[in-house]
Amino acid sequence: MNFVVGCNSNKTKTLRIAVASNLTEPITLIGDNYYEEFETKVEVITGSSGKLMAQILHGAPFDIFISADIQYLDLLKEQNELLDEPDVFVEGRLILWTLQQAQDPDIQLLLSERIKKIAIPNPEIAPYGKAAKEALMKLNMWEQIKHKLVFGESVTQTNQFLLTEAVEAGITSQSLIHSTHFSSDGLWIKIENSLYQPISHGIAILKSSTNIEASKKFIDYINDDNSINLLKEYGYTQSL
């Protein structure tokens, strides 16, 4: 999925940024701000981190890759695809979201017979799915609810399952509850951080970029206080 920020002037530079789908909305807003300040368009191409990495390895013409899992950037570094070392700039958090009501809600709600289908991102290609599976396994719930699981290709598709009520519950990024595109209805429950490895979101410039200086400027921009505060509004925490 592509989002372009900025005008259509042929003289305007364009940065093509591959972005993990859970970060689509805040990165698009940061791209708006970046364009206003530097008159460089930002094209946001979204998908699961694993699929975006595969596109990069097959020559997709991106300038910057923002992954929901630093490990994908480390793999690209091993393949000599990155200009510099990747930078971890924020960490994500998991929540359980459901339209089902409960008096004292917790993650055990997923065991209820009322919950027929549960959406999570695909653990094989999406970092939030990997973290969700890890949490469920630590709680000894994975095998009990495996038959209910519906896998989204990314956080965005998982959230779409929730939005359209194709499932009764889902585990997804906390950024969901801050999104302007999502219903204010429903119940959300934070999943304890101790149940999964940190979801470290990384950023790096690709060696194949044709806009190295503008890419460096964007990375500085995303790490400044205004951008980090915007990301915090979406439930992300700053990496120490």
24 and 70 share one domain: yes
Provide the whole-model pTM. Answer: 0.86
The two counts, helices (H) then strands (E), for the chain are 8, 12
pLDDT of residue 10: 46
6 and 71 share one domain: yes
Chain mean pLDDT for the chain: 91
Mean pLDDT of 5-11: 48
Last residue of a domain, one of 180, 195, 210: 195
Residue type, 207: K
Q: Would you state the structure tokens that stand for residue 79, as one six-digit string?
A: 């393949």
C-alpha to C-alpha distance for 83 and 146, rounded to whole angstroms: 41
44 and 108 share one domain: no
190 and 117 share one domain: yes
143 and 117 share one domain: yes
Q: pLDDT tens digit string along 23-53?
A: 999 999 999 999 999 999 999 999 999 999 9
Least confident of 27-31, 82-86, 159-163, 178-182: 178-182
Residue 30 burial (10 A CB sphere; 0-12, 13-18, 19+): buried
Q: Would you state the structure tokens that stand for residue 38, as one six-digit string?
A: 């530097």
Whether residue 153 has pLDDT greater than 50? yes
pLDDT of residue 48: 92
Q: pLDDT tens digit string along 76-116?
A: 999 999 999 999 999 999 999 988 776 667 899 999 999 99
Q: CATH no. for residue 143?
A: 3.40.190.10
121 and 83 share one domain: no
Domain that includes residue 103, residue range: 93-195
16 and 33 share one domain: yes
208 and 184 share one domain: no
52 and 126 share one domain: no
| pLDDT band per the 50, 70, 90 thresholds, residue 180 | low
Mean pLDDT of 209-238: 95
Tell me the DSSP string of 205-216: EBTT-S-HHHHH
Calculate the CA dihedral of residues 150, 155, 157, 162 and round it to 10 degrees. 70
| pLDDT band per the 50, 70, 90 thresholds, residue 9 | very low
229 and 138 share one domain: no
81 and 128 share one domain: no
∠ CA 222-225-226, nearest 5°, is 75
**CB-based contact 200:103 (threshold 8 Å):** no
Q: Would you state the structure tokens that stand for residue 123, as one six-digit string?
A: 């653990």
Number of domains the chain is built from: 2
| pLDDT band per the 50, 70, 90 thresholds, residue 137 | very high
pLDDT of residue 181: 62
131 and 83 share one domain: no
pLDDT of residue 179: 74
pLDDT of residue 8: 46
> Residue with structure tokens 């979204």?
46
